[in-house]
Amino acid sequence: MAQEIKDSSEQLPAAIIDIRDQYTRSIIINSLKTIAPQFQHYTPSSAPSFHDVPILYWLEYEDIDFSQILTNTKTHLVNSYCIRKGLIRKAQMNFNIQKHVAKYPNSCLKKSTPETWFFEIDHMDYFDEALDEIFEVVQECKENESRERKHKFILKPNLGNKGAEIKIFDSIEQLRAVFEVTCEEKNDNIDEKILQDDEVDESIFHLREWVIQRYISNPLLINDRKFHIRAYVLAVSKIKIYLYKDMLALFALHSYKSNDINDTFAHLTNTCLQIHDESFKESDQVKLFWELIHHDSEIDEQDLNSIFEQIKNILGECFKAVVSEVTQFMPLENAFELFGFDFLVDANKDVYLLEANSFPDFKQTGSRLSHVISHLFENTVKLAVIPFFKELQDPSINRNQTSDETDSKFCLVFKT
């Protein structure tokens, strides 16, 4: 049992850490030991009953007791915001962006987000009815019948990451088949499900909220392969937004074939989908963004700097759009969070925002670039954790003005 004291500034802070992914958990613990060795480490099950002790919680979202966080805003710091659905749910983010663009028509978001439609279906019996809500998509798919270069669309779950259940289509028949096949698979597995009640059914059938985005058919190619950019973004307190400079470029396994939408590995660039394929090679599929200058003569330093500046501007406008809606994103003074943002660059070297992910899969960085993630978390501790607990020791310190940004690889892109 921790000794009860009146002055919490005299008590060593506690860090309660329980991230299920061992890769990420180890890096968090090592980063704290390196940058903030004063923390005493616990798991939720090993932590004593604290009294007046400053606490850092680094937990899975569903394990966070936000009532405790909201009650102890001066002494408890947590690694996630309570409300951020307006950012991590694709349909809600698009709604907030469109609302922002209507208010600020000169915003860069007007041209940097793919056209998006919300598609809701909870059973195949209502498929045709659901099509009424995506009239433009249906119309273009009909016109595709007479087109040589068909307009393509991409279907994604409203809330999901790791490339799960992403499908590309250019006809309504293909879209219908996505749901019909999965319904058949579900029926085939009913008996097995009865026998295995504890098994989690992650079937597409149980996902009722989707988005359909216009597919960007002219991606920038390097060595004839498509790639997307994974950017790590840190939100701190109420609120500062930082972009981590060491972004990743994640490549498709196969050469890009515009007209062959059945070759998933030519179009989808998520390493989570590729890693079990025998042709997957980490050094070919995962690269540092700033290394791209060495892999293609068509890209120079000026291009990379331009892309980086576009990403900074897009992120700033995106958070400006989202944090203005308190029911969509509620900043907290005693919270921080790391997000994974995905961007695509087209052949004209214009950047598009694809999506934002909470609790991103840091393992996709791989072993060769694992130092990138280690430095990411060390810089996160410097910017988000240290200033919060310094203010406890000296109330005259303003945590919003005293974060260690000078030697950080984070760059500020937005603040309120």
Residue 349 gets the label, from left (phi > 0), alpha (psi -120 to 50) or beta, of: left
pLDDT value, residue 398: 52
316-355 pLDDT per residue, tens: 999 999 998 889 999 999 999 999 999 999 999 999 999 9
Average pLDDT (184-210) is 50
**Confidence band of 404 (pLDDT split at 50, 70, 90):** low
Top-ranked range on mean pLDDT: pick from 49-53, 166-170, 234-238, 395-399: 234-238
HSE-up (13 A, CA, CB side) for residue 44:
10
Give pLDDT tens digits for 56-99: 999 999 999 999 999 999 999 999 999 999 999 999 999 999 99
Q: How confident is the model at residue 265 (pLDDT cuts 50, 70, 90)?
A: confident
**Three-state DSSP string of 19-79:** CCCHHHHHHHHHHHHHHCCCCEEECCCCCCCCCCCCEEEEECHHHCCHHHHHHCCCCEEEC
Are 286 and 366 in contact by the 8 Å Cβ rule? The answer is: yes
**Band of residue 306 on the pLDDT scale cut at 50, 70, 90:** very high
Average pLDDT of span 7-35: 88
Question: Following DSSP, what letter does each residue of 143-155 receive, concatenated?
Answer: HGGG-SS---EEE
pLDDT at 5: 36
Task: Note the pLDDT of residue 162.
Answer: 60
Supply the pTM of this predicted model.
Answer: 0.89
The pair of structure tokens assigned to 214 is: 């216009």
